[in-house]
Structure 1
Amino acid sequence: MFRTLLTFTASCALLLSSIAHAGIVVGSTRYLYKEAHVKSPRK
């Protein structure tokens, strides 16, 4: 029982961290794109 709970908790933590990591990557990419878009001279 305890082992199942531990495995469940570990997988949940892993899932949450991967989701958070993906969110950070998307956010930083979007920010960088926006910065590059703003800094580039418009024709």
Structure 2
Amino acid sequence: MTEMTTKPKADDPERAHLADVEDGCGCTEIWEHMSEARDEADD
């Protein structure tokens, strides 16, 4: 298993959608972040 040791960078296209997620957050916070981003994209 590969462990990420650095925060995703906005210029990394595979991880840019996680750049604004706080370090140490759990799956619920990630889900909420992605859900909000999806809602904004629909507008």
TM-score by length of 1: 0.41
Higher helix share: 1
Query: Which has the higher relative contact order, 1 or 2, with Cα contacts under 8 A spaced 6 or more apart?
Result: 2
